[in-house]
Chains A and B, each alone.
Chain A
């Protein structure tokens, strides 16, 4: 993910054009909120209070309203995360297939040691998530935008090497 400087507005140039194209799909400005928040996260890696204020202004909403939406959806980061964000499913179908062993392997191999924490070198953050909708391919893992199936504790080290 490419970050832009935090003090610059997100919705300029190409990104503004993309937002405008998205807005045209809906009869209200409010409906472009989830897509707009994805654009912010794409640009910055997370969504700050200031960014929420910018989105609010662009879409004629209040900043408090935007914050209420950001905090509802778990995929929007409200603080900076590691360079690579790892989401491991441990809900029952995957739990039956050893998902907790997978998440332990990630915690150990990344150096994160704790769920939600970023590794000391800033490279990884590991979180436990709910059902990822790939229960037949246990254990599925999302690393950044890569949806990886059938992860076992054994293939965790090799997987991590692909994410510098």
Chain B
């Protein structure tokens, strides 16, 4: 086994810190609980060292040094807040504000703006760049179908340029001109339409690169943010769902070094409007006099249990590969010994990798839980099972929208229990309809293509009487006498982990916010 070099011990703002050799002072400071103000530095991008904001004092070195590019040294004593460094950073902020317009009232970044944040912390109360000096003015530019560039606000940190060049491998953004005339630019023949280009909006510390989709939709401080997992494909990028008054207004990546580092693709990012759809099933439905009528949960569950309990033949579960592990597991449980599980998934030919992050791509498999479905006993044989429905007793449809399925496709089976979010034509012949919540409206877990089990959390409340599928199926299971009712998705997961190989040893607490790979004995996830 090779000897790794010994770690380095240094002092940052009076706190002793021990870090691996080669760590920068800025990263080491995080361990000491000190956030050194910075703009151009980003852990997912190569170091630039241009904003000059992270200037710190290192004892024994006369000039201030930039923390983002200075490696730690044994015995170093670093001071972040001595007067000289504070003055220097105050100077940087003042320089940034001489041309940066006072756009806060109309700027989307307000409330989550790093320029605002550091100016409030360390900047001058009043600028000395008097009103008689004109600020630089350039009109807003459309860089691409979604990304707008407001040149006046740009602080030339170059994160966007470095992202497109090094992470996306497609240098379509440049720095143009020189001095205080410099701007970010594109070439007219190549707009910013790369499949991962939306990340530049996240990376921009100020409101210079903004999303047309999000333009003037909400104020940052109005947003509630919840950890979740993107359902656009099987990569399982960690995201945050951001809502305003229960409406999802934005999806943004959440960092996870093992999956998506700091990024998400444009397809996933824009894939949220469906979470706000109003045409939802809002109450359980049962059949009465040949028509579906609203009922309460007790009645709907009673009738469902009767159908499942009395099933003499196969119980086919047609599940969508975005259903949670908990729901898939419990659906199999209520289906009993004659369970036949099937799913179908949209497969697109092209994948769109982010070359700078190995193993990260917008996958051709356009669903988040294909692996989970497979591990829980479902096969990608949707068409077959559909064709063979006449041999089954009950069809339990779990969150499948049945797009493109002929309206009489489910007619062959005697009884259909439809658990879903919207009611398609093909399901109108169902015996019972159970309104369930979407991934945005419940807690649960999904398994990505690399076998990582990841938690998602409830970001908004579901409509009407919709309940999580795990709850409804858990009640069914209890009614069928196959176990106790479940009080939480965590309990459902615990049940799953006890019974399904590969999930053994995993708990919600252990999964935390970063998940864990299946088959690992001890959970690898780090709690929040």
Q: Do residues A62 and B187 form an inter-chain contact, with CB atoms below 8 A?
A: yes
Q: Which residues of A contact B171 (CB under 8 A)?
A: 61-62, 64-65
Contact with B along A27-61 (1 / 0, CB 8 A): 00000000000000000000001001100000001
Q: Which residue from chain B places its CB closest to the CB of A67 in the assembled complex?
A: B187
Q: Do residues A49 and B189 form an inter-chain contact, with CB atoms below 8 A?
A: yes
A61 to B172, CA, bound (A): 10
Of the listed stretches B41-49, B175-183, B235-243, chain A binds: B175-183
Q: Do residues A64 and B186 form an inter-chain contact, with CB atoms below 8 A?
A: yes
Q: Do residues B170 and A67 form an inter-chain contact, with CB atoms below 8 A?
A: no
Q: Do residues A64 and B172 form an inter-chain contact, with CB atoms below 8 A?
A: yes
Q: Tell me how many residues of A have a C-beta within 8 Å of chain B.
A: 14
B185 interface residue, CB < 8 Å from A? yes
Q: Do residues B177 and A67 form an inter-chain contact, with CB atoms below 8 A?
A: no
A164 interface residue, CB < 8 Å from B? no
A45 to B301, CA, bound (A): 80
B174 interface residue, CB < 8 Å from A? yes
Q: Do residues B185 and A72 form an inter-chain contact, with CB atoms below 8 A?
A: no
Interface size bracket, B side: 10 to 19
Q: Which residues of A contact B189 (CB under 8 A)?
A: 49, 53, 63
Q: Which residues of B contact A53 (CB under 8 A)?
A: 187, 189
B358 interface residue, CB < 8 Å from A? no
B135 interface residue, CB < 8 Å from A? no
Q: Which of B170, B185, B190 contacts A68 (CB 8 A)?
A: B185
A71 interface residue, CB < 8 Å from B? yes
A66 to B188, CA, bound (A): 12
Contact with A along B24-52 (1 / 0, CB 8 A): 00000000000000000000000000000
Q: Which residue from chain B places its CB closest to the CB of A68 in the assembled complex?
A: B174
Q: Which of A64, A72, A74 contacts B187 (CB 8 A)?
A: A64
A139 to B174, CA, bound (A): 36
A13 to B202, CA, bound (A): 47
Q: Which residues of A contact B178 (CB under 8 A)?
A: 71-72, 74
Q: Which residue from chain A places its CB closest to the CB of B188 in the assembled complex?
A: A49
Q: Do residues B190 and A63 form an inter-chain contact, with CB atoms below 8 A?
A: yes
Q: Give min CB distance, A55 to chain B, whole Å.
A: 11
Q: Which residue from chain B places its CB closest to the CB of A49 in the assembled complex?
A: B188
Q: Which of A52, A64, A71 contacts B173 (CB 8 A)?
A: A64
Q: Give min CB distance, A69 to chain B, whole Å.
A: 8
Q: Which residue from chain A places its CB closest to the CB of B174 in the assembled complex?
A: A68
Interface of A is mostly: helix
Contact with A along B130-153 (1 / 0, CB 8 A): 000000000000000000000000
A66 to B171, CA, bound (A): 10
Q: Which residue from chain A places its CB closest to the CB of B183 in the assembled complex?
A: A71
Which residues of B from 236 to 281 have beta carbons under 8 Å from A? none
Q: Which residues of A contact B173 (CB under 8 A)?
A: 64
A11 to B170, CA, bound (A): 24
Q: Give min CB distance, A24 to chain B, whole Å.
A: 25
Q: Which residue from chain A places its CB closest to the CB of B175 in the assembled complex?
A: A68
Q: Do residues A62 and B185 form an inter-chain contact, with CB atoms below 8 A?
A: no
Q: Give min CB distance, B143 to chain A, whole Å.
A: 10
Q: Which residues of A contact B187 (CB under 8 A)?
A: 49, 52-53, 62-64, 66-67
Q: Which residues of B contact A64 (CB under 8 A)?
A: 171-174, 185-187, 190
A63 to B191, CA, bound (A): 11
Q: Do residues A62 and B176 form an inter-chain contact, with CB atoms below 8 A?
A: no
Q: Do residues A62 and B172 form an inter-chain contact, with CB atoms below 8 A?
A: yes
Q: Give min CB distance, A72 to chain B, whole Å.
A: 6
A62 to B188, CA, bound (A): 12
Task: Give the most central of B171, B173, B174, B178: most A CB within 10 Å.
Answer: B174
Q: Do residues B177 and A71 form an inter-chain contact, with CB atoms below 8 A?
A: yes
Q: Which residues of A contact B174 (CB under 8 A)?
A: 64-65, 67-68
A15 to B186, CA, bound (A): 28
Q: Give min CB distance, A73 to chain B, whole Å.
A: 9
Can you list 21 contacts pairing A with B, beta carbon distance less than 8 Å? A49-B188, A49-B189, A52-B187, A61-B171, A62-B171, A62-B172, A62-B190, A63-B189, A64-B171, A64-B174, A64-B190, A66-B187, A67-B174, A67-B176, A67-B187, A68-B174, A68-B175, A68-B176, A71-B178, A71-B185, A72-B178
What is B's interface to A at a CB cutoff of 8 Å?
A: 170-178, 185-190
A71-B177, A72-B177 are known; give 16 further A-B pairs, CB within 8 A: A49-B187, A53-B189, A62-B170, A62-B171, A62-B172, A63-B190, A64-B174, A64-B185, A64-B190, A65-B171, A65-B174, A67-B185, A68-B185, A71-B178, A72-B178, A74-B178
A-B residue pairs, 8 tightest by C-beta: A68-B174, A63-B187, A71-B176, A64-B187, A62-B171, A64-B174, A64-B172, A65-B171
